[in-house]
Amino acid sequence: MSDLAVLPVALPIVGAALAIAVGIRFDRVGWPIAAVVAIGQVAVTATLAWLVATGGRIRYELAGFAPPAGIELVVDGLSAIVALLVAVVAAGVLVYARRAGPRSSAFYAEYLLLLAGLSGMALTGDAFNLYVFLEITGLATYALIASGESGRAAVAALKYLIIGTVGASIYLLGVGYAFIATGTLNMIDLADQLAAVGYDATLVQAAFVLMVGGLAVKTAIYPLHVWQPDAYRFAPDSVSAYVAALVSTVSAYALARTILTVFTVEFLAANPILQTAVVWIAALSVIAGSALAVMQTEVKRMLAYSSVSQFGLVIAAFAIANETAVLGGTIHLVGHAIMKGGLFLAAGVIALSTGARTVDGYRGLARRAPVPAVAFAVLAIAMVGVPPTVGFLGKWNIVLGAVEGGAWVVAPVLVSSALLTLAYFGRLLERMFVAEPLEDTAEAAVAEDTDVAADGGVESADDRPVSLGMIGVVVLAAILAVALGFAGPIFESLLEPTLERVIV
């Protein structure tokens, strides 16, 4: 049964090749193929998660070469959760993309390739293999972002490509340092060998800094986030949702793997300066990201800066590295993917049905498009961290863990970030539910420009109106964001064995 572990990577790659090959002969086969693969992916990863929950960690040797020389795939509680999340979000966005998204077969081939890269990052147990999957993910993401209609999408994608490549290269350099120190690339083996070399060795410390720094670029931690806002803004709506929900999430997961599995908690204990540095940079990211988000007038850019801040919280949780904090970090990772993916999709639905893309354009939205507006509001409130949503559950555990771990800086940072999150989402909520629609107010003249643009948007929206499935996905995300708030015990039972092994 453990052969199942290879399917989440192999299935989408085969699907991508198929979409291209069949796409040459027939039009519009991309979506059906992607849909079949996505459903299969959900089934496979759910089965894997169930196997891990009942039977413990699965280690799969690729091609029968035994580790540490061979590459292995490892499915444990943490990676099973991430792989399942990737599959579910990819399937959800696909429902949305059917009506809204780019429709070429090549687009869906890239879509599946990204799915393969993300699943690979989640499941691999080899530091160099992680680099390869990181770049597969990167290549697919650059191409997907460039599929936006404006030339600006290409400019944003090129900027992301250059910065992302430097980030991945720095990670590779760190892997090289670790490899020179130990002679192994397998993550579990690296943990033992690094301990044997000694945690105070300069080579090991440098490897930590380079690997964490490289992955921080991919996760878009402040001040390494500069590629993110443009990339999210100019990509097609379905791509922004897909990329915002998953790419940074899986990079943050890889960062957690690097800190917790490869370098282990003992390394952090032996190098308190490095641990403190990571926590402080993450805290800075929380504040700076929120502050930048408050200043934005364009909704998708605001959501992008909000990601910078939320991932700061997650990374801080993983760097504190006690059980409560890591539990909170994982919950927030999953919750953020659902909430942010849902928010981008809701913004897409709103833009297609009303043409509103700016904060001021959201005036009186509750009357024009009530269902997406309410879903958006629920997701926004969940993001602020109001109980009983998943945002609250994650942030609460992170704060508890921070206090337990003595990282006092995180508690006030988290509270102020929740307030700043309230500030930028509150602004939108007020516009949507309280403010009068634009008609005769003085500000209408200013907003007229956006409305003219909006009319164009409505026209093009008419020939591809918002489908029921698109609204359904947004509502489902909102329901999930609330429902997962009660799922604390499930996360705990799935993560418990992994956390015990990783952290003690």
Partner 1 sequence: MIDALLARYGYVAMVVLLAIGVYVMIRSPNLVKKVIGMNIFQTGIFLFFISSAYVEDGVPAIVGHGGAEATYVSPLPHVLILTAIVVGVSLTAVALSLIVRIYREYGTLEEDTLREVLANE
Tokens of 220: 């878009």
Instruction: Find the shortest distance in angstroms from Cβ 300 to partner 1.
Output: 17
Site residues for partner 1 per CB under 8 A: 128, 131-132, 135, 138-139, 142-143, 146, 151-152, 154-155, 157-158, 161-162, 165-166, 169, 172-173, 176, 179-180, 185
Give the Å distances, CA to CA, from 258 to 107, 130, 222, 308, 418: 32, 10, 19, 20, 28
For partner 1, give the closer residue by CB, 154 or 411.
Answer: 154
CB of 297 to partner 1, least distance (A): 16
Q: Which is nearer to partner 1, 131 or 199 (CB)?
A: 131
Q: Is the dihedral of CA 465, 468, 471, 474 positive or negative?
A: negative
CA-CA distance, 471 to 479, in Å (whole number)?
12
CA distances from 227 to 178, 211, 231, 284, 312 (A): 28, 19, 6, 18, 16
Supply the minimum distance, in Å, between the C-beta of residue 156 and partner 1.
10
Nearest alpha carbon to residue 123 among 57, 174, 215: 57
* Closer residue to partner 1 in complex, CB, 162/419: 162
DSSP secondary structure string, 392-460?
A: HHHHHHHHHHHHHHT-TTHHHHHHHHHHHHHHHHHHHHIIIIISPPSTTSTTHHHHHHHHHHHHHHHHH
Within the chain, what is the greatest distance between any pair of CA atoms?
73
3-state secondary structure of 74: strand
Q: How far is the CB of 40 from partner 1 (least distance, A)?
A: 26
**In angstroms, what is the minimal distance from the CB of 139 to partner 1?**
6
Q: Closest CB to partner 1 among 61 and 135?
A: 135
Secondary structure element (H or E) that encloses residue 59, with its range:
strand 58-61
CB of 341 to partner 1, least distance (A): 25
Nearer to partner 1, 143 or 274 (CB): 143
Tokens matching residue 367: 């009357």
Measured from the CB atom, the residue of 128 and 280 that comes closer to partner 1 is 128
From the CB of 150, what's the least distance to partner 1, in Å?
Answer: 8
Cβ proximity to partner 1: between 179 and 280 the closer is 179
Contact (CB, 8 A) for 26 and 141: no
Nearer to partner 1, 143 or 255 (CB): 143
Count of residues in the chain = 504
**Contact 119/7 with Cβ under 8 angstroms?**
no
* Least distance (Å) between residue 72 CB and partner 1: 16
Instruction: Provide the minimum distance between the beta carbon of 69 and partner 1 in the complex, in angstroms, as a whole number.
Output: 8
Tokens of 217: 């670029």
CB 41 within 8 A of CB 90: yes
Work out the number of other CB atoms within 10 angstroms of the CB of residue 465. 12
Quickly count helices (H) and strands (E) in the chain.
Answer: 21, 2
Q: How far is CA 399 from CA 145, 309, 409, 415, 460, in A?
A: 35, 15, 10, 9, 46
By beta-carbon proximity to partner 1, the closer residue of 39 and 180 is: 180
Nearer to partner 1, 96 or 177 (CB): 177
Provide the residue type at 268 as one letter. Answer: L
Place of tokens 């105070």: 200
From CA 146, how far away is CA 235, in angstroms rounded? 7
- Integer angstrom CA distances of residue 3 from 44, 63, 425: 11, 11, 45
Nearest approach in angstroms of CB 183 to partner 1 is: 8
Q: How far is the CB of 176 from partner 1 (least distance, A)?
A: 5
Minimum CB–partner distance for residue 386 and partner 1 (Å): 39
Of the two residues 144 and 413, which places its CB atom closer to partner 1 in the complex? Answer: 144
Q: Which of 382, 446, 461, 468 is nearest to 418 (CA)?
A: 382
| Residue placing its CB nearer to partner 1 in the complex, 31 or 208 | 208
